[in-house]
Structure 1
Amino acid sequence: MSSLPSKGLGRGLDVLISSDFDKSLLLTPSDKIEKIPVDKLQPSPYQPRKHFDESALNELATSIKRHGIVQPLVVTPIKDGVYTLIAGERRFRAAKIAKLGEVPAIIRSSEELEQLELAIIENVQRVDLNPLEQAISIERLHDQFSMSYDDIAKRLGKANSTVNNIVRLLGLPENAREALSKGQISEGHARAILSLKNDVERQNYLLSAITTQGWSVRQAERFVSSVKAGISDTSKARARILSETPATKALSKSLGTAVSIRRMAKGGKLEINFASDSELDEIIAKIQAQ
């Protein structure tokens, strides 16, 4: 059996990214999950991280007692039924604290790991991959190969911020993830929805406005800004957004003054600002000339 390559495997986290998403997204139909006895596992020799926060491990152990291990470990066989951890050492340590007899794991040979890592990297570099598919592929490299986000960024030739922002898309609610994967919303729309993470009601409202009313990324961002500015009434936040549209922008440019829309129960009003009677006469002349 060949030794495991170092190529970034087992490196510690350099960047903090929320892991608050459904980890089952990282699994593929071909991933067979086995139950491995805890006493048959040993830490990876490529894991440079020697200190693990005890309080965090105890919290994880408590969670594991209640819910089990949601995301399987990734291991590679050594000999005599013993396995080396490739990914999931925190889960492994917490499982021992929780006194589990066995843990779920995906078993891969060192050759498989090399081939799969290369396949995922090639996959994430495809131009036709949508942002959510990219996010899943990048997170698989991080979670199942213990590659840091910085290392992944270097391998992909992308900026660290680009990789971080892509992975954060996994924190979208399921309906928004589905809309993103189908191309119904853009990555920019998705980021706007994600920024309302603690407000599910407004996330759903914003998603609906984008998909049914055709809100632009700019309108979505303005809606978020309105909410964060303290406009708690969704209808008022919506009115603020709709007061500026591509049409009003074009008209403002044409007339040389601010133009806005005021929505009402039925229809609405087109408001044209003017500072003096002479400016009003100029605006009227421009309208008549058109």
Structure 2
Amino acid sequence: MSKQFGLGRGFDALLPTEVDKALLEDDSNRIQKLLITDVYANTEQPRKEFNQKALEELAESIRTHGVLQPIIVVQKNDKTYRIVAGERRYRASQIAGLDKIPAIVRTLNELREVEIALVENVQRVDLSPYEQAVAIARLQQQFSLKYADIAKKLGKAETTVNNIVRLLHLPEDAVKALVGKKITEGHARQILALKDNPEMQAQLLAHCIENNWSVRQAEQFVTAYKKGAHTAQTAKKSLVTQTSETKRLSVSLNAPVRIKRSAKGGTLAIGFTTDEDLQRILQALTTQSKSK
């Protein structure tokens, strides 16, 4: 699910590609060869589909080099073993025709300690929003937790957790921009709002970076598109027109102005700082009205 490339500071130490390092520490003497028939996948694992071509390629590598990294399992009462991490290697080993597979057997208490460590890492203040999303997804996958359970552990609202995880659906270029702090989480959410049109997502991302658009401008771009401006040119033109109107009125009144459009029209907000400032603006509006 996650994209692997130069992510934020310390990210690889937090979330390695396959399993958390904490699961493998000090286990050189704990690797066992288990009968593959005694091992089974976690039925509550969120990931249900695996790329068959990729599995075939991994199986061919296993035939040549063997399983280079042991899977992580927990022993059940019936002497079978449930996979905690490494289902892809397990499936590829089956395809390769292996009778046994290297595994590290963990206890439930050990897994609980790793879960606590991961929760604490998710709560680190130096993680980017995307890093938090990947960490939360890892918690869900490795420990079969529901987002509601994760939210409770993190002390966050479930909607907050769901919104964070949605960042995993960003296009790769947007992920790089978010992790590189070229756009904010607010910009990223507007890009996600255009998920049905990758071309428009790319256009919006470019505008946010190259033109230093605010989240509000990005939102206006999305709104223009969804109201019928179904090309980048017309959506941008709609936004530019509104921006021009706002600037012209702001200069005329010497006051901050915000225009918010809706399906039935919209609202016009004019800012002022003091009562004298308000009277000045009212006088300017009255004067302009009488001159027409």
TM-score, normalisation: structure 1: 0.62
Deviation at 1:237, TM superposition (A): 0.6
- Given candidates 277, 285, 288, the residue that maps to 1:283 is 288
Q: Which residue of 2 aligns with 1:15?
A: none
One-letter amino acid matched to 2:250? L
1:252 deviation in Å? 7.2
Which residue is equivalent to 1:142?
140
Q: Which has the higher contact order (CA 8 A, sep 6+)?
A: 1
Counterpart secondary structure, 1:84? strand
Pick one of 182, 196, 218 that aligns with 1:184: 182
Kept in 2, the 8 Å contact 1:37–1:101? The answer is no
* Shift, 1:213, TM fit: 0.2
The aligned counterpart of 1:198 is: 196
Aligned residue in 2 for 1:239: 237
The alpha carbon displacement at 1:164 in A equals 0.3
Share of identical aligned residues, percent? Answer: 37
Report the equivalent of 1:68. 55
**Equivalent of residue 75 in structure 2, options 75, 78, 81:** 78
CA shift for structure 1 position 43: 5.5
In the TM superposition, residue 86 of structure 1 has moved relative to its aligned partner by 3.1
Structure 2 distance, partners of 1:131, 1:106, is 33
Secondary structure of the equivalent of 2:182? Answer: coil
Which letter does structure 2 place at the counterpart of 1:283?
Q
Range 142-151 or range 122-131, more displaced: 122-131
- Out of 129, 132, 135, the position equivalent to 1:131 is 129
Paired with 1:226 and 1:36, the residues of 2 have a C-alpha distance of: 59
Q: How do residues 137-176 of structure 1 correspond to structure 2 at under 5 angstroms?
A: 137-176=135-174
TM-aligned CA deviation for residue 74 of structure 1: 6.5
* Inter-partner Cα distance in structure 2 for 1:69 and 1:164: 33
Q: Matches of 1:240 and 1:220 in 2, distance apart?
A: 12
Matches within 5 A, 1:88-103: 101=97
Q: 1:255 to 1:86 in 2, by over 3 A?
A: same
- Counterpart Cα distance in 2 of 1:243 and 1:224: 15
Distance 1:101 1:147, change over 3 A: farther
Closer, same or farther: CA 104–171 of 1 in aligned 2, 3 Å: farther
Equivalent position SS for 1:28: coil
Deviation of residue 109 (structure 1)?
2.2
Measured in 2, the distance between the counterparts of 1:198 and 1:157 equals: 32
Q: Which amino acid aligns with 1:180?
A: L
User: Could you give the per-residue CA deviations for residues 202-234 of structure 1, whole angstroms, max 9, x where no partner exists?
Assistant: 111100100110111111112112222221231
Task: Find the residue that maps to 1:243 and give its secondary structure.
Answer: helix
Q: Deviations over 1:148-203 (max 9, x none)?
A: 11100000010010000000101101110011111111111001111111211111
What is the rounded CA distance, in whole Å, between the counterparts of 2:4 and 2:117 in structure 1?
20
1:78, CA displacement in angstroms? 3.1
In the alignment, the residues of structure 1 paired with residue 206 and residue 163 of structure 2 have an alpha-carbon distance, to the nearest angstrom, of 23
Question: Counterpart of 1:9?
Answer: none
1:24 and 1:82 map into 2 onto residues whose CA distance is 33
Matching residue of 1:225: 223
Trace 1:5-44 onto structure 2 (pairs within 5 A).
21-22=1-2, 28=16, 31=19, 38-42=36-40
Q: Secondary structure at the match of 2:112?
A: helix
Contact 1:180 1:187 in 2 (8 A): yes
- Counterpart of 2:111 in structure 1 is 113
CA displacement at 1:65 relative to structure 2: 3.5
Structure 2-normalised TM-score? 0.62
8 A contact 1:73–1:105 mirrored in 2: yes
In structure 1, the gaps of 5 or more residues are: 1-20, 261-277
Aligned equivalent of 2:27: none
Runs (5+) with no aligned partner, structure 2: 6-11, 25-30, 58-68, 260-282
Q: Shift of the alpha carbon at 1:253?
A: 8.7
Contact 1:153 1:159 in 2 (8 A): yes
Q: Distance in 2 between matches of 1:248 and 1:73?
A: 62
Please give the per-residue CA displacement for 1:8-48, whole angstroms capped at 9, x wherever unaligned: xxxxxxxxxxxxx447689506848999864131366xx6x
Partners of 1:128 and 1:188 in 2: CA distance: 18
Deviations 1:43-67 (A, max 9, x none): 66xx6x6xx9xxx97xx4xx64344
